[in-house]
Structure 1
């Protein structure tokens, strides 16, 4: 397979609410990512964006976001109704064809303008799940209850995850929520959706991210420190949570194996864990024993829906390029109760 590397990236500060449009958010990160890669928009051969019409509140909302990349010179463009991590996967596949050298992937979301409890049930299976009116938080609470009742986690362990990740986020200038939290105090708070408390749930966040990737020789030309994508895969299981074992994530395990995550030690893992109980499930499925997870703070510190997974890739790449790690892992997920999972393995210069 053609070696492909991340050569530049950018993301916006993550905030509770912004007055910028998605197109403007993307303009900022596309500019930042191309500058980080030492190129201009004209050097980009292919672009792929991840966004959600439901969150944006209009059909074909991604069309206006193309302005962020520019229409001249003419270039190939695509869109996925998924997190930007899946846009990166499509861009990675596109570069494998060998006829172009540089691509950019983007993810953007302004969740502050939406009502998650109304929107997310509309995206579910129209016959069996949508009529229930259950949103992402309801499904997450269901999975957390299964884990607690099975004795696989405790409420204290979940509170410790919340406190650790948000403490780590103090060093992340892009984080939305950070600080010191007392576990005993957290456990006295009321439930938001039993058994989940406020600290178990990621914040509503507006933000965007972009990543530039390039084929082997071009990547080496652009930077002395390319971050190589040495494994990339995603896998899905049934959309209906009732036919799955919610104590594990078979699709995450399959994606990790296909990406070759087990072919060497992982030094840092950035996981798209929008809820505290998802961390132990994914850690077990991905084989991340004694591996630092979400030192950036992760989604519990900032959760720009449709860009959260791409931010995980950026943070994993940052650990390699800027902090001297050799091999890291980034993860993204979509669907109820960790239904679909993506794994990206990154390595330093070789």
Structure 2
């Protein structure tokens, strides 16, 4: 990415991660507090946002054009410049990034929402698969991820203990972020391994929980970003690639699209990342991604607790960018990587790099 247009994350807010909310499926009740938190934090108004872009799913919401009714959280007057993607809002952020790069706006607010408790999530996600050859067979999302996990176990790429270690670390990080000091111990891992399978080779800790939630990020350009934030998280690279939807036509134990996205986003930059936020919705996915993205042992992974501690559909990928940016804004990191995924078995992957500048 050239320096012609500097773009930074200047604010991030998210709704609580809960198993169920009693609001509508258009997300308004979850989104409105996020927007107002950002307005107050940045000292801006709705009219200070040049472009709005959202990510959600009408299939998950169970209604047509749910993203239109979600605009009630913004307000109908004055009119806004708005767009939408039918996938995780990390891709809405990519669209907003393009908008800002093209000079059509100086600020953008990106948001995503999903009420996964409203339906049978595993079946809804089946609709992402090939509508002719795969979806009619009815494979649910956990079953497809299980095929990938089993392939890696049988190939010796990872073990069930490796998966349990990921889950234990995620739980410890989530507890620490919530104010409960805790550390991963060997007995914690043994307890996880002693649990019953829920979908072989998965135990419950290997699968991200059903979560309702929403998130929002404000992007700004150049000097406007510096006005809004003392220490912006500058987007130094962003890219996404997709693998074939035919599960039998690719090696499920690796992620070529994640590797390609990382190469494109990182470019010729050198040096380790202080932290990485990975959109790993199953424990084994973190193991695949760490290898595909070339992360070193010194990089903190999912300090937020990651999706295994809270996985709001269609905003969890955006949250990875938000959590990574927050550490830069707060001064606890200088360089971070954020990742989002979409589709079964890590089919599509987006990678963004962020850093602080003096």
SS in 2 for 1:254: helix
In 2: Cα distance, 1:33 partner to 1:261 partner? 32
CA contact (8 A) 2:232 2:328 kept: no
How far the C-alpha of 1:28 sits from its partner, in A, is 1.3
Pairing 1:98-177 to 2, within 5 Å after superposition? 98-173=103-178
Secondary structure, aligned partner of 1:306: coil
Q: Report the counterpart of residue 73 of structure 1 in structure 2.
A: 78
Q: Deviations over 1:238-288 (max 9, x none)?
A: 111110111110100111111116613211000000000001100000000
Structure 1 residue aligned with 2:230: 224
Unaligned runs of 5+ in 2: none
Contact 1:170/1:179 (CA < 8 Å) preserved in 2?
no
Structure 2 counterpart SS, 1:17: coil
Considering only aligned residues, what root-mean-square deviation do their CA atoms show, in Å? 1.7
Contact 1:9 / 1:34 at 8 angstroms: preserved in 2? no
Per-residue CA deviations over 1:278-312 (Å, capped at 9, x if unaligned) read 01100000000211110111000000010001111
Q: Deviations over 1:205-230 (max 9, x none)?
A: 01100000011111112222111011
- Given candidates 210, 221, 224, the residue that maps to 2:216 is 210
Residues 53, 92 of structure 2: 8 Å contact kept: yes
1:283 counterpart residue number: 290
User: Residue 263 of structure 1 aligns to a residue in which SS?
Assistant: coil
Within 5 A, what are the aligned runs for 1:16-55?
Answer: 16-21=19-24, 22-55=27-60
Would the aligned equivalents of 1:9 and 1:37 in 2 still touch at CA under 8 Å? no
What is the rounded CA distance, in whole Å, between the counterparts of 2:277 and 2:314 in structure 1?
A: 16
Residue 275 of structure 2 is matched in structure 1 by 268
Q: What is the TM-score of this pair, normalised by structure 2?
A: 0.94
Change (3 A) 1:174 1:128: farther
**How far apart, in 2, do the equivalents of 1:248 and 1:18 lie?**
36
Aligned: 1:6 with 2:9:
yes
Question: 1:238 aligns to what SS in structure 2?
Answer: coil
Alpha-carbon separation, structure 1, partners of 2:239 and 2:357: 21
| 1:319 matches 2:327 | yes
Distance 1:130 1:204 in 2: 21
Aligned mates of 2:316, 2:33 — CA distance in 1:
17
Change beyond 3 A, Cα 1:324–1:189: closer
- Aligned partners of 2:225 and 2:232 also within 8 Å: yes
1:51-62 to structure 2, matched below 5 A, reads: 51-62=56-67
Q: 1:182 to 1:258 in 2, by over 3 A?
A: same
Which residue of 2 is the match for residue 250 of structure 1? 256
Q: Deviations over 1:46-65 (max 9, x none)?
A: 10010011111111111100
How many Å separate the matches in 2 of 1:128 and 1:36?
Answer: 49
Tell whether 2:202 aligns with 1:196: yes
Partner of residue 339 from structure 1, selected from 312, 331, 347: 347
Query: Match of 1:224, SS?
Result: coil
Match of 2:246 in 1: 240
Contact 2:258 2:348 in 1 (8 A): yes
CA drift at 1:161: 0.9
**In structure 1, C-alpha distance between the alignment counterparts of 2:122 and 2:18, rounded to whole Å:** 20
SS in 2 for 1:199: helix
- Is the CA contact (8 Å cut-off) linking 2:231 and 2:330 kept in structure 1? no
Number of equivalences: 348
> Residue 11 of structure 1 contacts residue 208 of structure 1 at CA under 8 Å; is this kept in 2?
yes
In structure 1, list runs of 5 or more residues that go unmatched. Answer: none
Over residues 9-28 of structure 1, what are the superposed CA-to-partner deviations in whole Å (9 max), with x where a residue is unaligned?
A: 11111111111231121111
